[in-house]
Amino acid sequence: MRDGQDGRAGSGHAAFGVVGAGRIGGMLAGLARAQGHTVHLGGRQGPTCHVEDHGPVVVCTRNDALRDVVARTPPTRRRDLVFVQNGVLAPLLLQLGVPDATVGVLYVAVSARGDTPVPGAPSVFGGPHGATVAGVLAAGGVAAREARDSRDLREQVGTKWVWICATGVLGDALKVSVGELIERHEADLRALCAELAPVLAAHPDTDAPADLADQVVAYSRSVAHYRTAVKEWEWRDGAMLRAAALNGVAVPGYRAWLHRAGFGPAADAVR
């Protein structure tokens, strides 16, 4: 499927590729199209993009589809892939043979397909297509920037990971929206950030910024309507607990909140 300026297929020109036209993919395709880019949408079957084209191919599926998406991408185009999923993707990208692909950390919320995006902090992109994809978002009014360097990207990956884990478990345990969380339980959120920061520092693919808790609170404020929950265990909380255990970082407060949220057995299984 191709649309955009000229509708040519496979003509070897620049195209803005999107795989998975859900909430994020739909937003990106819409912004790119509005800015005059030729947009190529890759679906669930066949190659994800044209082998002859060039330009970013932003993968907007859930984490569990990444293996399939990479396998359906022509080998010569795999370096054009841009991954925006939550969690620490670097080990999987290495395993899939795309360690140099672009990675994006999204600080934007799109609640339903076609909804107006709610930007929080600038989304950050690092890799060969970082500037292009950040440029499309920023030109469309969704704050975004290119990562300054690899440490900056590792800090952003880590910050979003902690944001998801901390607000998810507190949201489930306390049954509150993110806005209510920072209004009434900011100290608990900050305490979790402090406890999880050493996990980020010890992980080879993340770093902990000095102002981790401030960034987590600031992003929470910008998406106050969100009701976060523990989800995608393997990529989020399960991965956090594994990284803590692997690096000898004790996280008793986080474990206690997971128990209170109903994830005690799953948490206890990771030691």
Ligand X SMILES: NC(=O)c1ccc[n+]([C@@H]2O[C@H](COP(=O)([O-])OP(=O)(O)OC[C@H]3O[C@@H](n4cnc5c(N)ncnc54)[C@H](OP(=O)(O)O)[C@@H]3O)[C@@H](O)[C@H]2O)c1
124 lines the binding site for ligand X (CB under 6 A): no
Q: Assign 205 to helix, strand or coil.
A: coil
- 83 near 105, Cβ under 8 Å? no
The separation between the first and the last C-alpha atoms of the chain, rounded to the nearest angstrom, is 47
Total site size for ligand X, rule CB under 6 A: 22
x-or-dash string of contact with ligand X, 97-116, rule CB under 6 A: ---------x--xx------
Q: Between 223 and 249, name the residue whose CB sits nearer to ligand X.
A: 223
Exposed e or buried b per residue across 54-70, where buried means at least 16 C-beta atoms within 10 angstroms of its C-beta: ebbbbbbbebebbeebb
228 lines the binding site for ligand X (CB under 6 A): no
23 lines the binding site for ligand X (CB under 6 A): yes
220 lines the binding site for ligand X (CB under 6 A): no
Residue, CB closest to ligand X:
22
Per CB under 6 A, the list member of 31, 41, 60, 121 interacting with ligand X is 60
21 lines the binding site for ligand X (CB under 6 A): yes
Q: Assign 18 to helix, strand or coil.
A: strand
Ramachandran quadrant class, 213 (left: phi over 0; alpha: psi -120 to 50; beta: rest): alpha
Binding positions for ligand X, rule: CB under 6 A: 19-25, 43-44, 60-63, 65, 68-69, 84-86, 106, 109-110
